[in-house]
Chains A and B, each alone.
Chain A
Amino acid sequence: MYLELSHLKKRFGEKEVVQDLSLSLERGELLCILGSSGCGKTTTLNMIGGFLAPDGGTIRLDGQDITALPPERRPVTTVFQSYSLFPHMSVLQNVMYGLKFQSCGKAAAREKGMKYLDMVGLTDYAGARIHEISGGQQQRVALARALIVEPKLCLLDEPFCNLDAALRVKMRAELKKLQRELDMTMVFVTHDQEEAMILSDSMAIMEQGRLIQNDTPYHIYRHPAGDFVKEFLNLDELVWKEDGTMMKIIKKPDAPEGERI
């Protein structure tokens, strides 16, 4: 396995936020960690990124134990929920920043920066300041900035939750395309069932710090591990294609007032 979390534990004071979590992921796949707020998904992500030290367990990436490495030395990058772009730098400077710490010449870094900006469709904004571009564009800059250092693993912490619904759908498709093109391994954290179903190659459902089910979306649909998963995912609303990819989600109208009683 490319990424292996085994028996991860984390507690804040009395509260066990992550309890004995084991997960694995193949190279080039996208894992969605799905759960309601407070289930420990972001804590898990922070442990993989190196921002939190686990109380127990190990994290292995590409055969190397990275549990004790600080974030700056992990071959892992993060797209933060609030983007966390550097407000005093231009779009291009933001994208190029990570290359400063790799042996990469100025000119080469610039070229690569422009290439990645092209990939996310922002070449026209290379010189713009961060506060001059829209939320969706900031999202793309954050994505390019995380991908340019060619990490072994890219983490995304609810990256689309600040975008409006239409833009979110568009960004999903772009992200999936980019991930396939670059053959990038990604871990994506979200509380949006629809997003998880559409994006993921593999899905992990968490509840109160525990892993409930980890499988492909189609398998989870076919064999949900209990009523919690069934209810949480609203499985009745999904329609599938023959090949196992999801076709669409049908929102059923609520039962009329009178019948509910």
Chain B
Amino acid sequence: MNDRSGSASAKRASRDALFRACGYGLDKLLLLALLGSVCLFVFYPMLCILLRSFQGGGSFGTGAYQAVWEQYRVNLWNSIFVGALTAVFCTILSVSTALFIATRRGWVRLLCMGLLLITMVSPPFVSSLAYIQLYGRRGWITYRLLHLSWDPYNCWGVIWMQSISFVPLNALFLGGILSKLDGGSLQAARDLGASPAAILRDIVLPLMRPGILVSLLLSFVRSLADFGTPVIIGGRFSTIASEIYLQLVGYSNLEKASAMNMFLLLPSIAAFFLYRYLLRQSDRLTEGSRGRQEGLELKLSRCGPMGAAAIGVSMLFFGMMVLQYGCIFLSGFLKSTRGKYAFTTRYLEQLLKYDASTMLRSIWYALIVSLAGTLFAILFSYYMERRHVPGRSFFDCLVTLPYMLPGTCFGIGYILAFNSQPLKLTGTAVIVLANMLFKQLPTCTKICTATLTQVPESLERAARDLGGGPFAVMRDVILPSLRPAFLSCFVYNFSSSMTTAGAILFLINPGKKLAVFKLFDAVYAGDYALASLISTLIIVIVLAVEGLAYLISWKAARPRVS
């Protein structure tokens, strides 16, 4: 050893120490920033709602609750009635559809998946919009085809439309469970003499049971929180959610709206815990299965009456979907003069002329939320999963809270929390972006955590063992393995940001509208052609951006051999 190498290594050691100290500080700072923003943007707004709801009727107390209970008991029952029926109808549709898709292969399966994908990226009011155009007072089917005159604005329309529009998510969820079913169990049952009908009854449906209950639960909660459908096609029929919308937009009565929200909040939270329990049960039933297969080895057509019913119901659903989207895509380009239709691009020109900035702003916001939200989710799940942060379960719970909150509730919380100095954010873009980000964070964190738990910790240790520091571990082990999660989060964030309306409707600055807001306005004002066109555009944009994202990640993931 000579002197020069000795001093060089000492220098390197001191530089390493400095680097480590900086890294350590940065690390802690980052963690604090993450946790702090979760508290600020999730916990604080919820606290504000809770406090405000006790301030109705002049003094601190349960005055607002009593008023709501007296005045809106009918709405409460309406909500529960609609929610329960929607849950049942929607689940029947979803189970049939999931079974149909799982047992099919080839182009039928692809076509059905494609339809579900389109419905997944559709803005929320599409089915109501199509409903009015197809079955309304001047509807294509009820009026022009069947010459009926009837009033479509009632609770059955709401129930039917909610059922239809919640199906895709449930069907995809149930499809996930079906793809995890142990093909061996089906084979074993067949081997012991069970007919296809018996297999469906004894094996497939019982194994789906937790999933079916989850579908019931989620549909119920989503129906409770949905205000768009009853506002648009409920007519004189109103639920708690639609009344909240009215109180807020019509009368700006924040106390009442807060108290009414608490009525929605409690069942949602209860449902959430039940949901977590059911998911665990479902995982237990499918664990140790033989893994993914192409499709379920079962012919629905040979499954007796139950199989036939499943086929019939799913055909009904897909038929409705085709009608609905056909109607939406067409009516943006059709002009009706005295009952005759002609192709026109007039509406498109109008839209591009007056509302191009709205569309661009939507895309811009969605991109920001997608990138920021995905990064946030990755970092957050990394700290939670690998760093054993104190109070982990509390923060886990906090970050999942927005998942169970009705959108209106989360929106009102933001209005209450950020309406005064020093945190005056109302009217700015930040409040809208933050609201989207934190509303979508639970799903993203879940995706990232699921991926992270599949990267064994020994891989990190191996990188450390071979001489990599914490940053090398992050760069070479954690981030590459999160690539698929990144893509899923990005796609989910983007489509949600482009299509969700719930919370944003209350937060948006009238001068800076977003596409979904514009759509709601157009539907509410009866401007159906414009509304259809905006829906079509949103669908096309989301599909295009998602396609692009998949393309880029596919290109990047191809092994480079040089």
Are B191's CB and A87's CB within 8 A? no
Interface residues of B in 475-491 (CB under 8 A from A): none
Interface residues of A in 33-87 (CB under 8 A from B): 49-51, 70-73, 76-78, 80, 82-87
- Given contacts A101-B194, A102-B193, whether A84 and B285 have CB atoms under 8 Å apart is no
Docked complex Cα distance between A78 and B189 (Å): 10
Contacts of A70 in B (CB 8 A): 190
Mark the stretch among B198-206, B410-418, B522-530 that contacts chain A: B198-206
- Given contacts A84-B182, A131-B284, whether A100 and B188 have CB atoms under 8 Å apart is no
- Given contacts A80-B184, A97-B202, A131-B284, whether A86 and B189 have CB atoms under 8 Å apart is yes
B61 to chain A, nearest CB (A): 50
Are A71's CB and B185's CB within 8 A? no
Docked complex Cα distance between A83 and B185 (Å): 9
- Given contacts A82-B290, A87-B182, A88-B285, whether A101 and B207 have CB atoms under 8 Å apart is no
At the interface, yes or no: A9 with Cβ under 8 Å from chain B? Answer: no
Are A87's CB and B207's CB within 8 A? yes
At the interface, yes or no: A114 with Cβ under 8 Å from chain B? Answer: no
| CB < 8 Å neighbour of B195 from A72, A88, A98 | A72
Contacts of B195 in A (CB 8 A): 72, 101
At the interface, yes or no: A140 with Cβ under 8 Å from chain B? Answer: no
At the interface, yes or no: B192 with Cβ under 8 Å from chain A? Answer: yes
| CB < 8 Å neighbour of A98 from B187, B193, B206 | B193
- Given contacts A87-B285, A88-B285, whether A100 and B198 have CB atoms under 8 Å apart is yes
- Given contacts A72-B194, A100-B198, whether A87 and B189 have CB atoms under 8 Å apart is no
| CB < 8 Å neighbour of B188 from A86, A101, A102, A131 | A86
At the interface, yes or no: A149 with Cβ under 8 Å from chain B? Answer: yes
At the interface, yes or no: B335 with Cβ under 8 Å from chain A? Answer: no
Q: Find the residue from B189, B193, B286, B288 having the highest chain A CB count within 10 A.
A: B193
Contacts of A146 in B (CB 8 A): 191-192
Q: Find the residue from B189, B195, B207, B287 having the highest chain A CB count within 10 A.
A: B189
At the interface, yes or no: B446 with Cβ under 8 Å from chain A? Answer: no
Name A155's closest neighbour in chain B (CB-CB): B191
Name B203's closest neighbour in chain A (CB-CB): A86
At the interface, yes or no: B137 with Cβ under 8 Å from chain A? Answer: no
Q: Find the residue from B192, B202, B284, B286 having the highest chain A CB count within 10 A.
A: B192
At the interface, yes or no: B109 with Cβ under 8 Å from chain A? Answer: no
- Given contacts A100-B198, A101-B198, whether A84 and B184 have CB atoms under 8 Å apart is yes
At the interface, yes or no: A145 with Cβ under 8 Å from chain B? Answer: yes
Contacts of B513 in A (CB 8 A): none
A13 to chain B, nearest CB (A): 16
Docked complex Cα distance between A98 and B190 (Å): 9
A11 to chain B, nearest CB (A): 20
Interface residues of B in 146-205 (CB under 8 A from A): 182, 184-185, 187-195, 198, 202-203
A-binding residues in B (CB < 8 A): 182, 184-185, 187-195, 198, 202-203, 206-207, 209, 284-288, 290
| Cβ contacts A to B, 18 pairs, < 8 Å | A51-B187, A51-B191, A72-B190, A72-B194, A72-B195, A77-B191, A82-B290, A86-B202, A86-B203, A87-B285, A88-B209, A97-B194, A100-B193, A101-B192, A101-B193, A101-B194, A101-B198, A145-B192
Other than the given A51-B187, A82-B184, A87-B284, 5 more pairs (CB < 8 A) read A51-B191, A87-B285, A97-B192, A101-B192, A101-B195
